[in-house]
Amino acid sequence: MPDAAGTTRRRRYLQAMQVDVWLSRERSPQAPAESAVAVPASSERHASSANTDTPTIVDPAGTIDVAEVAAMPLAELEATVAGCQRCPLHSGRTRTVFGTGAADARCMIIGEAPGAEEDLRGEPFVGRAGQLLNAMLRAIGFSREAVYIANILKCRPPRNRDPKPEEMVACSPYLRRQIALVKPRVILAVGRVAAQYLVGSTLAIGRMRGQSYFYENSDDGARIPVVATYHPAYLLRSPLEKRKSWEDLRRARQLLEANP
């Protein structure tokens, strides 16, 4: 059982990501009773809140208006991200990593954050992990160009650490808008951080796999099935888990076939 400190940390983490928690009506009968999920709140909480645990969103240039972001076309959104200073990560980036692929893709791949090579090239999922992701997509009949690939964060965290809650809050308007513009039929969440963020869960990725989750976009009200799977970088370290990821990919393909 989690201790009180762990529970408090998780609650603050979810609050920082602007989510409200309740038990999912979509939970499968096999899911553990404690597998509560949360759906992103419909409005953004402001950093000026009286709650001292709420992370501060930094935008010294004063150029990012969340309401304007929610109405931007994709090209303007990418240009806005390129100049973003909403969190301290902007000071250490080489390039922002916006997203790549088909703007009307039926499947959207979402990871957590860029790595060193992504930071240099400005493209998500390159290098060995990107090559494995490409192979995973080909296994279910997709090319990299046929899907849309993005990360929660658009700037690389130092030493490839996990994103902080306040960093995800700062980047969340961009990802919401990307999802609203692409309108995918299925989201493949790769890795624990991305899967937990998209559906508000605190479960380990191994326990999220195979469960029914949905992402609810406050920008357009869309309700999109989310398939949680392992990150390609993890699969490079643990190749025996590739069979499980294959099962997840098949499930994503089945969802697409059911919702053409």
Give the per-residue SS3 of the chain.
CCCHHHHHHHHHHHHHCCEEEECCCCCCCCCCCCCCEEEECCCCCCCCCCCCCCCCCCCCCCCCCHHHHCCCCHHHHHHHHHCCCCCHHHHHCCCCCCCEECCCCCEEEEECCCCHHHHHHCCCCCHHHHHHHHHHHHHCCCCHHHCEEEECCCCCCHHHCCCCHHHHHHHHHHHHHHHHHHCCCEEEEECHHHHHHHHCCCCCHHHHCCCCEEEECCCCCCEEEEEEECCHHHHHHCHHHHHHHHHHHHHHHHHHHHCC
Mean pLDDT of 218-227: 86
For residues 191 and 236, what is the distance between their CA atoms, to the nearest angstrom? 13
Q: Would residue 1 count as lying in a domain?
A: no
Res 204 pLDDT > 90: yes
Please give the C-alpha separations between residue 260 and each of 105, 161, 184, 223, 247, in angstroms, as whole numbers: 11, 37, 10, 15, 20
Q: Which of 63-77, 133-147, 181-195, 217-231 has the highest mean pLDDT?
A: 181-195
pLDDT score for 32: 35
Q: Would residue 31 count as lying in a domain?
A: no
Res 62 pLDDT > 90: no
Which backbone phi and psi does 101 adopt, to 5 degrees?
120, -165
Res 66 pLDDT > 90: no
- Full domain range(s) for residue 143: 58-258
Q: Would residue 32 count as lying in a domain?
A: no
Q: Would residue 45 count as lying in a domain?
A: no
Q: Would residue 110 count as lying in a domain?
A: yes
**Whether the Cβ atoms of residue 110 and residue 194 lie closer than 8 Å to each other:** yes
Q: Would residue 16 count as lying in a domain?
A: no
pLDDT score for 76: 96
- CATH number, position 251: 3.40.470.10
Split at pLDDT 50, 70, 90, the class of 140 is confident
Structure tokens given for 64: 């990012």
pLDDT score for 155: 98
pLDDT score for 118: 96
pLDDT score for 59: 52
| CA-wise closest residue to 53 among 166, 172, 200 | 166
Res 152 pLDDT > 60: yes
For residues 167 and 89, what is the distance between their CA atoms, to the nearest angstrom? 8
Q: Would residue 216 count as lying in a domain?
A: yes
Res 248 pLDDT > 80: yes
Residues constituting the chain: 260
Res 26 pLDDT > 90: no
**Whether the Cβ atoms of residue 38 and residue 20 lie closer than 8 Å to each other:** yes
Res 35 pLDDT > 70: no
**Using CB atoms within 10 A of its CB, is residue 230 exposed (0-12), middle (13-18) or buried (19+)?**
buried
Q: Could you tell me the pTM of the whole model?
A: 0.76
**Count of structural domains within the chain:** 1
Query: Which residues sit opposite 22 in a β-bridge?
Result: 37
Specify whether the backbone of 119 is left (phi greater than 0), alpha (psi in -120 to 50) or beta: alpha
Higher per-residue confidence, 254 vs 11: 254
How much of the chain exceeds pLDDT 70, in percent?
76
Q: Would residue 40 count as lying in a domain?
A: no
